Amino acid sequence: MDTVPALATRRVSRTDDLPGFVHHPSFTGPGATREYAADPALAETDDYGSRYMPDEVTRDRARRMHYAAYRARTARNASERQKWFGVYLTLRDRIVLGNRKLIYRAVRSRMAVSNRADDLIGDCHIVLIQAVAAFNPWHGVRFSTYAYTCLVRALSRLSQRLATDWLARAVSLDALSDGEPGRRPTGEHLASSGSLRVEDYLRADHPLLTDREKRILTHRYSGDAAPAPTLETVGRAVGLSKERVRQVQESALEKLRKALA
């Protein structure tokens, strides 16, 4: 199947219920099912905890993954569509788990001094999933090279966001008050400046933030804990998933940025 030029591939956009994929001309050939669908490795357990998934294995599974997405898109009934979509997800997850060491390598090399490593690793897992879905295994690029580049670029964007987001860098809400960092302003100063401290927005009677947003920001940035609690720690405290905590936090921070500006 590799005799078909890589440039003959084309990307098919995702729909609301099915993923996008790279379409290869061999998908419509007479031997496509035998070439791509018969995957005995799906019944095996991958164990790449201490090593990377070999590039040839990653490439083979990526091809099968795109073929499964193609079959899901062209399925004649819901049962067949669900079957192939399940195969797609299984192969995608195998590739992600087999190459997850790329995340730790990228975080160590780019964000060595950050105390937000856990959060960055969580964000990078999303980037790796997106890289797997977008990777074209018929091009002559190693997946590790492609994915590592995606991760480094994502970390660069994250580091710029952290560098400019003084609220996210804060350990204590006291450091976000008017005046010099770490010095609480007096009531007289507040009255004369006409401004509010971050704590004022977290009061129960202040309407800017929802109760959930106030709870999460209080857990994340108040107190003397250093480094600040991770998203996962806060999630356990408030009964939410780490990803949901991140979403609520981003919404709350955006409201505060606008208010404090």
Give all domains of the chain, ordered by start, each with its CATH number: 6-164 (1.20.120), 167-260 (1.10.10.10)
Is the pLDDT at 174 greater than 50, yes or no? no
Residue 193 confidence class, pLDDT cut points 50, 70, 90: very low
Give me the percent of the chain exceeding a pLDDT of 70: 72
Is the pLDDT at 64 greater than 50, yes or no? yes
pLDDT of amino acid 204: 80
Q: Note the pTM of the prediction, 2 decimals.
A: 0.61
pLDDT of amino acid 6: 53
Mean pLDDT, residues 125-131: 94
DSSP assignment of 132-172 equals HHH--TTSS--HHHHHHHHHHHHHHHHHHHHHH-HHHH-SS
Is the pLDDT at 179 greater than 90, yes or no? no
182-215 as b/e: b if 16+ CB within 10 A: eeebeeeebeeeeebbbeebbeeeeebbeeebbb
Helix, strand, or coil (residue 225): coil
pLDDT of amino acid 261: 60
Contact 70, 98 (CB under 8 A): no
- The more confidently predicted of residues 189 and 118 is 118
pLDDT of amino acid 73: 95
Is the pLDDT at 199 greater than 90, yes or no? no
- The more confidently predicted of residues 133 and 233 is 133
Query: Average per-residue pLDDT in the chain?
Result: 78
Mean pLDDT, residues 61-82: 95
